[in-house]
Amino acid sequence: MSYRILDAGDAALTIEFGSVIDPALLAAVNALDAAILRLQQAGALPGVIETMPTFRSLTVFFDPLATDRDTVLAALQPLIAAAEHGAPADGRHWRLPVCYEGEAAPDLAEVAQTLGIGEDEVVALHSGTEYLVYMLGFLPGFPFMGDLPERLRLPRRAQPRVRVPAGSVAIATGLTAIYPWESPGGWHLLGRCPVPLFDARRAAPSLLAAGDRVRFAPVSAEQCRAIEAGLRNGELDPMQWLEAAPTPAENAA
């Protein structure tokens, strides 16, 4: 695997492993990210503020008053070389409830019609696939997940919505996502997930992390409301939808 170093101003640089969405690129990105975090925690990367892993690249933010580009790059070179052969880390496995009915699924009928399949089939395909969380962003806790089954792939909506409600489960191109916040958006809305993906009061504010695996469990509108109520009054804990987590030893291996 080859890589490129790209300048992102005077206070950041990007290590780019490729230009497409590909789990092999993600494995390299996440391996490099983990290696940098370890060095940072050991105090061996002074001036490095944080990293931002994406589908295919890792951006390193540094303080130009405390270090410089060449020093950062020199420290990163051996990590980059090792990360190119990084094996995918085993993330946590989630099974999140999704209501694919009524108001929660404003685009389901149109998507089914465009694809020439039944609404039930759209739901079966979407909820019958395990997705990889490629990255988080552009909004807090927003997971870009893939890959969608080939039969569900559509370009974005011609006319983006001004307001996509928080909790919307959406698809576009080869990806699926959950909007943690109300936001403008051009993806097709298939359902609603009642579990909040972001909560600043939690020790880990984002429920999902890059490398996690997610499946969706269809629930009725009534069940969806009951889950929302249970989460609001504290009877339910979002961690109950975590199915399996690797042991630290498994990920260190």
Query: Of 42, 138, 158, 233, which one interacts with other proteins (CB under 8 A)?
Result: 138
Q: Cβ closer to other proteins: 79 or 135?
A: 135
Q: If binding is defined by CB under 8 A, does position 168 make contact with other proteins?
A: no
Q: If binding is defined by CB under 8 A, does position 73 make contact with other proteins?
A: no
Cβ atoms 190, 171 nearer than 8 A: yes
Nearest-angstrom CA–CA distance, 219 and 68: 52
Q: How far is the CB of 130 from other proteins (least distance, A)?
A: 21
Q: If binding is defined by CB under 8 A, does position 249 make contact with other proteins?
A: no
Cis peptide before 138 (omega within 30 of 0): yes
Q: If binding is defined by CB under 8 A, does position 118 make contact with other proteins?
A: no
Q: How far is the CB of 123 from other proteins (least distance, A)?
A: 27
Cβ atoms 19, 29 nearer than 8 A: no
Number of chain positions touching other proteins (CB under 8 A): 48
Instruction: Mention every residue, 6+ apart, whose C-beta is less than 8 A from residue 27.
Output: 86, 87, 88, 89
In three-state secondary structure terms, 195 is coil
Residue 247 corresponds to which amino acid? T
Cβ atoms 126, 244 nearer than 8 A: no
Q: Cβ closer to other proteins: 20 or 249?
A: 20
Nearest-angstrom CA–CA distance, 91 and 214: 10
Q: If binding is defined by CB under 8 A, does position 68 make contact with other proteins?
A: yes
Instruction: Mention every residue, 6+ apart, whose C-beta is less than 8 A from residue 141.
Output: 180, 197, 198, 205, 206, 207, 208
Q: If binding is defined by CB under 8 A, does position 243 make contact with other proteins?
A: no
Q: If binding is defined by CB under 8 A, does position 75 make contact with other proteins?
A: no
Q: If binding is defined by CB under 8 A, does position 72 make contact with other proteins?
A: no
Q: If binding is defined by CB under 8 A, does position 51 make contact with other proteins?
A: yes
Q: If binding is defined by CB under 8 A, does position 21 make contact with other proteins?
A: yes
Angle at 243 between CA 238 and CA 246, to 5 degrees: 110
State phi, psi for 103 to the nearest 5 degrees.
-60, -25
Q: Cβ closer to other proteins: 50 or 110?
A: 50
Query: Of 35, 59, 90, 215, which one interacts with other proteins (CB under 8 A)?
Result: 59
Cβ atoms 192, 180 nearer than 8 A: no
Query: Of 118, 128, 137, 160, which one interacts with other proteins (CB under 8 A)?
Result: 137
Q: How far is the CB of 177 from other proteins (least distance, A)?
A: 11
Binding site for other proteins (CB under 8 A): 6-14, 16, 19-21, 33, 49-59, 61, 64-65, 68-69, 135-142, 144, 180-181, 183, 198, 200, 205-206, 209-210
